[in-house]
Structure 1
Amino acid sequence: MARGHTTLNSPPPSQDEAYREAAETYGGAIVRLARGYERDADLARDLVQDIHAALWRSFAYFERQCSVRSWVYRIAHNVAVSHVQAALRRKSGGLVELDEIDTLAAPDNPEADVGEAQASQRLLSTIHRLKPADRQVMLLYLEDLTAAEIGEVTGLSPGAVATRISRVKSLLAESFQSPETER
């Protein structure tokens, strides 16, 4: 039998087993998510640990009413949003609504070769400026979740998720256009 799958007759995995399987399967996504919410590398590592601790605790009451994938993302995003909100209480300002973002953050070194790494950094810089709800939708979208799956995690309707994604994609398309295409 494949790992992580139970038959109808087998008992659900224990809290430790369920956590271990989820951490193994989604560990990389948790790290990417933490980097998406927290720009400081040390704080991102702390956030990863906080997410793992909350995830382990959560499997004590996980009733399998949604997929393990949705559950992991829900827990991870809830912890990350709480992390951002706590940081905001410590220092005020900086986050904006999706409609309020007028330009992307400038690249760190405009003289450097404009490559994939720089575009990723620009994308993360923009995502860091979004309010937690919009940031959550975009990070889940970048993890290839569908609008319905994102809705399960966030509590938004799939239509609201699709609208947010479309608005951010339009913003990014405008912001990432090269100067040659604007002539």
Structure 2
Amino acid sequence: MTMVHQDKTGDAEPAAPRDADELYKLAVELLERALARLAAGYEADPVERQDLLQDIHLQVWRSLKSFDGRCSLRTWVYRVAHNVAVDHVGRARRQKGMIGLDQAAEIVADPHPSPEKEVSDRLALAQIHAMLHRLQPIDRQVMILYLEEENAATIAEVSGLSAGAVATRISRIKRLLAGQLDLEAIR
């Protein structure tokens, strides 16, 4: 019988083992694909993305020695992963142009898409990733968690923002991104 732990947001996950290595294995089992998507959301270059993902895994593993269960394992891993990614972006920030809010979903795949649809979907996803890469780190963090279908309470807990601030940022970022999609469609 597997014990289940429910965090403050009501998300259920298997009860966390005590050993850091076991916690790491559980974290990877629960979030491996999400961490890969998170890395893709922060890093466009495939080689750099792999380095970032390895860094995330290393820091998650290291951090689990101090995991005390005051939040869910999922929230803990997201916090660590986003902190590593933000540090990664901070190091590269001088080389890239970023946009902020104060400046002017994953694509659902058809089981049998046409080649044109596949190309169109890939281009749209690449365009969304490019836009995400230009956002400030906190905005990028919020949107990546939003695209992972995390609720405002979880995003708030991971980011340190209030749930209301998260909802406001999501709305503003969606408008900003939609406006950029419209402008790029015109070109």
TM > 0.5 between the two?
Answer: yes
| Consecutive unaligned residues in structure 2, runs of 5 or more | 4-12, 105-115
Query: Does the C-alpha gap of structure 1 residues 65 and 38 become closer, same or farther in structure 2, counting only changes over 3 Å?
Result: same
Matched, 1:129 2:166: no
| Consecutive unaligned residues in structure 1, runs of 5 or more | 103-111
Residue 14 of structure 2: aligned partner: 5
Q: What's the TM-score once normalised by structure 1's chain length? A: 0.82
Residue 152 of structure 2: aligned partner: 147
Return the letter of the residue paired with 1:87: A
Q: What's the TM-score once normalised by structure 2's chain length? A: 0.80
Of the three residues 70, 75, 81, the one matched with 2:75 is 70
Q: CA deviation at 1:87?
A: 1.6
Q: How many residues are aligned here? A: 165
Query: How far apart are the structure 2 equivalents of 1:152 and 1:65?
Result: 12
Residue 165 of structure 2: aligned partner: 160
Query: How far apart are the structure 2 equivalents of 1:49 and 1:92?
Result: 22
Residue 98 of structure 1: aligned partner: 101
Query: How far apart are the structure 2 equivalents of 1:13 and 1:152?
Result: 23
Query: Does the C-alpha gap of structure 1 residues 19 and 176 become closer, same or farther in structure 2, counting only changes over 3 Å?
Result: same
Return the letter of the residue paired with 1:94: G
Return the letter of the residue paired with 1:73: Y
Query: Does the C-alpha gap of structure 1 residues 60 and 168 become closer, same or farther in structure 2, counting only changes over 3 Å?
Result: same
Query: How far apart are the structure 2 equivalents of 1:149 and 1:77?
Result: 13
Q: CA deviation at 1:150?
A: 0.3
Matched, 1:17 2:26: no
Percent identity, please: 48
